[in-house]
Amino acid sequence: MTTHDNPSLPRHLFRAEQVRAMDRFAIETIGIPGYELMCRAGAAALDVLRQRWPGARTVSVLCGSGNNGGDGYVLARLARAEGMDVRVYPVADPAHLRGDALKAWQDYRQADGPVLDFIPEGFEGAEVLVDGLLGTGLDRPVSGVYEQVIGAINRFAGGVLALDIPSGLHADTGAILGAAVRAQVTVSFIGLKQGLFTGEGPDCCGELRFADLDTPVAVQHSQKASAELLPCPPLDLPTRSRTAHKGHCGHVLVVGGDCGFAGAARMAAEAAARVGAGLVSIATRPQHASVLNLTRPELMCRGVESAAELDGLLRSASVVAVGPGLGQSPWARDLFRAVIDSALPLVVDADGLNLLAADPRRRDDWVLTPHPGEAGRLLGVASGEVQRDRFAAAASLQERYGGVLVLKGAGSLVRGGDDVPRICRLGNPGMASGGMGDVLTGVIAGLIAQGVSVQTAAEMGVVAHAAAADLAAAEGGERGLLASDLFPHLRRLVNP
């Protein structure tokens, strides 16, 4: 049985219906009986359980009415055969089971497997709970007894293993449908579901494992991936020529830093420098120009009162990062119009996005980096609607505004014009602090300045940014992580 842990997860992701089609392909075309696949799934999940909780002897398995419940019955039967103390809770009446799930139930009962009734007070005595309640076909909010059981699972103090997907999580969007299991480990079968990696998916899944159930590669190749995972570092950046000089490495212009927000422009600028831009300039309020580079003299700071004073800076720049600390004042709007009317590639963030929402434009040579709130303003919807289907929101944003779209958040999405969203599975909750987005803007701009395409710069930038945050958190913890803590790690990541 081939089971992959986190570092070696397959890159290609699929929607739930595609995975069901892959399952049918394995059965009807390859000739693997459906019950054999179910038995392999139960065995793979039990293997993961033993690896994650090697000392566990008491396991409670919660089973629903479909094949997800069938996987649970198989696991329970196999665990009992190995001498574990197994309790099964059929949340759905087994009389309603059909096909392979029914056979899994019958085999469990024929092995004298014990069955208990669910009580809301919980699961006393169990060391591990196995979630086999609801599979990938869920498309409406959880209610009734399933909602009660999920609540009890989430109050459980021991380990929780989810089969295929945490019950209550939408397999395609990563949104919670009313209530969802929060597992310590999830083992996903046949094909990875795209919703596991973005929105609420990572929080519900915990550690993610993948089991291909020993199906041939033709099974996965039978469907075109609906999304892809971005590769983890090292980054594929070219080696510099020994004769390189600063003019070869591009010039980033950061436009922003209105009164009270100078630090945002400063962080974006240093991030661009730290990933290798040859020159970095900041166009900001005149009162900030003399102080922004006091602790980083390599940055060139220019005070500008109006867009007319940007002309010379725009002529010498390779790329513009606009928005960090920009504000929405008349000064900000004047500078923003001048920047987007230029022919330079752009990275647009923060108030640059809010100004764009008020005066929509479309370009093919820019990167937009909204968080869900900014994405909602760009689309004219609430941020909650963006989060309910991040894939659809990213597609709508890219179609409306062009270029490359980075929808930030847990499982950041990068969407270009090729219709294949790419997901970053790195990053941590410590990134929920001021300035992180400004650093990402500078990283992407710094890569574009060095000749990297806007699409590749967005993808590499998102990965480098998240990986740097993970390295910084590993050193000192997630709480108290500052955006500027990423700088030394960014430098190492772009020099593998």
pLDDT in tens, 41-61: 999 999 999 999 999 999 999
Within a domain: residue 146? yes
Within a domain: residue 239? no
Q: Is the pLDDT reported for residue 2 higher than 70? A: no
- Reported confidence tier of residue 124, pLDDT bands at 50, 70, 90: confident
Tokens 């969802």, residue located: 180
Q: Is 495 helix (H, G, I), strand (E, B) or coil?
A: coil
- What CATH number is associated with residue 21? 3.40.50.10260
When pLDDT is averaged across residues 155-161 and rounded to a whole number, the result is 94
- Residues 279 and 405 occupy one common structural domain: yes
Q: Can you name the residues that pair with 303 across neighbouring β-strands?
A: 284
Secondary structure (DSSP) of 52-111: HSTT--EEEEEE-SSHHHHHHHHHHHHHHHTT-EEEEEESS-GGG--HHHHHHHHHHHHT
- Residues 337 and 201 occupy one common structural domain: no
Q: Is the pLDDT reported for residue 412 higher than 70? A: yes
- Residues 201 and 274 occupy one common structural domain: no
Dist. CA 125–CA 44, nearest whole Å = 24
Residue range 383-398, pLDDT digits in tens: 999 999 999 999 999 9
- Residues 296 and 204 occupy one common structural domain: no
Within a domain: residue 356? yes
- Residues 163 and 58 occupy one common structural domain: yes
- Reported confidence tier of residue 377, pLDDT bands at 50, 70, 90: very high
Within a domain: residue 459? yes
Q: Is the pLDDT reported for residue 496 higher than 90? A: no
In terms of phi and psi (left: phi > 0; alpha: psi -120 to 50; beta: otherwise), the region of 232 is beta
Q: Is the pLDDT reported for residue 1 higher than 50? A: no
When pLDDT is averaged across residues 450-478 and rounded to a whole number, the result is 97
Q: Is the pLDDT reported for residue 8 higher than 90? A: no
Give the pLDDT score at 6.
59
**Where are any strands of DSSP class E within 134-206?**
159-163, 185-189, 192-193
Which of these three, 174, 195, 228, is where a domain ends? 228
- Residues 87 and 220 occupy one common structural domain: yes
Q: Is 209 helix (H, G, I), strand (E, B) or coil?
A: strand
- Residues 186 and 268 occupy one common structural domain: no
Within a domain: residue 272? yes
When pLDDT is averaged across residues 428-454 and rounded to a whole number, the result is 97
Which of these three, 193, 228, 263, is where a domain ends? 228
- Residues 201 and 256 occupy one common structural domain: no
- What CATH number is associated with residue 347? 3.40.1190.20
At residue 373's C-alpha, the angle toward residues 329 and 173, to 5°, is 160
Within a domain: residue 241? no
- Residue 31's CB: how many other CB atoms inside 10 A? 8
- Reported confidence tier of residue 21, pLDDT bands at 50, 70, 90: very high
Within a domain: residue 240? no
Q: Is the pLDDT reported for residue 468 higher than 90? A: yes
CB 319 within 8 A of CB 348: no
Residue range 238-255, pLDDT digits in tens: 889 899 999 989 999 999
Which of these three, 197, 228, 259, is where a domain ends? 228
What φ, ψ does residue 228 adopt, rounded to 5°?
-135, 150
- Residues 382 and 306 occupy one common structural domain: yes
Distances (CA, A) of 18 to 44, 204, 231: 21, 22, 22
Structure tokens at 245: 């000089």
- Residues 477 and 404 occupy one common structural domain: yes
Tokens 């397959």, residue located: 10
- Residues 269 and 295 occupy one common structural domain: yes
Parent domain of 343: 246-493
Q: Is the pLDDT reported for residue 108 higher than 80? A: yes
Within a domain: residue 236? no
- Residues 329 and 375 occupy one common structural domain: yes
**pTM flag (> 0.75):** yes
- The domain total for the chain is 2
Secondary structure (DSSP) of 285-347: -HHHHTTTTSS-TTSEEEE-SSGGGGHHHHHH-SEEEE-TT--SSHHHHHHHHHHHTSSS-EE
Residue range 25-35, pLDDT digits in tens: 999 999 999 99
Higher confidence at residue 92 or residue 317? 317
Q: Is the pLDDT reported for residue 7 higher than 70? A: no
